Amino acid sequence: MLGLVTIGQAPRPDFDAAFREYLPNTEIKLLGALDGISVPQIDDLAGIDGSYPLHTLLSDGSTRDIDIKVLAPLVETKARELVDAGARAVVVCCAGDFPDIDCGVPVLRPGRLLPALAGAICRTRRIGVVSPIASQMAPAQVKWERDGFSVRTAFASPYRHDEIKIAAREMADSELEVVILDCMGHGVEYRDEFTRLSKRPVLLAQTLLAKVAAEVAGG
């Protein structure tokens, strides 16, 4: 079984479809870090100050921005639940810079995998990074610069399609070797449109993690 942890709430049919494409014969189980928490309690969590806000999707279709320091222990709890249920590997479905989770199986974190891949293919290490919300741009830039890149940032929520054109225009620069859609909520159709609008190569966290998970979890 492959375990998925989303930072919001289950279900996430987009994540299920993305991973099932590469793992058609593997059981996939998804848990949300905010599952079982009431909306008023989630609003309280969103009100806690922090330096690295993450964009979460709730089961009612609404969104909340909650700091990574609040979400990290909730994500770890769900990862351990998935391992107890039989998961051979766990994917953290968020590109934020989550800390290590030691739960006895491989834990795939796009916040670590994406920089490794981008660093392997970028000669100049000049990249664009598209965060889902404006308040995540500054911490994302710090994180990617710490990973050794020269970064231009923009934002475009996967749940607000009107923002894509502005972000793509910001990234339409031939000096950027690749653009990273730095949110697991961005899907294949979004990537394809962003590529067309920006005319730059684009790396998509969602499909890259699904492909790596297929290798780790064994099809």
pLDDT in tens, 161-196: 899 999 999 999 999 999 999 999 999 999 999 999
Q: How many residues does the chain have?
A: 219
- Give helix 205-217 / helix 188-198 axis angle, nearest 10°: 130
Q: Which amino acid is at 124?
A: T
CATH of region 112-204: 3.40.50.1860
Q: Where in the chain is the domain with CATH 3.40.50.1860?
A: 2-109+207-217, 112-204
Domain spanning 2-109+207-217: which CATH class is it, in words? alpha beta
d(C-alpha 54, C-alpha 94), whole Å: 8
d(C-alpha 144, C-alpha 185), whole Å: 19
| Phi, psi torsion values for 162, nearest 5 degrees | -70, -15
> Could you tell me if 144 and 57 are in contact, meaning their C-beta atoms sit under 8 angstroms apart?
no
Token pair 């793509």 is found at 168
Bridge-partner residues for 31, per DSSP? 5
Enter the tokens of residue 66.
């909650």
* Four-CA torsion 136, 28, 219, 159, nearest 10 degrees: -30
Task: Encode the chain (219 residues) as per-residue pLDDT tens digits.
Answer: 999 999 999 999 999 999 999 999 999 999 999 999 999 999 999 999 999 999 999 999 999 999 999 999 999 999 999 999 999 999 999 999 999 999 999 999 999 999 999 999 999 999 999 999 999 999 999 999 999 999 999 999 999 889 999 999 999 999 999 999 999 999 999 999 999 999 999 999 999 999 999 999 875
What sign does the dihedral 103-63-139-155 (CA atoms) show? positive
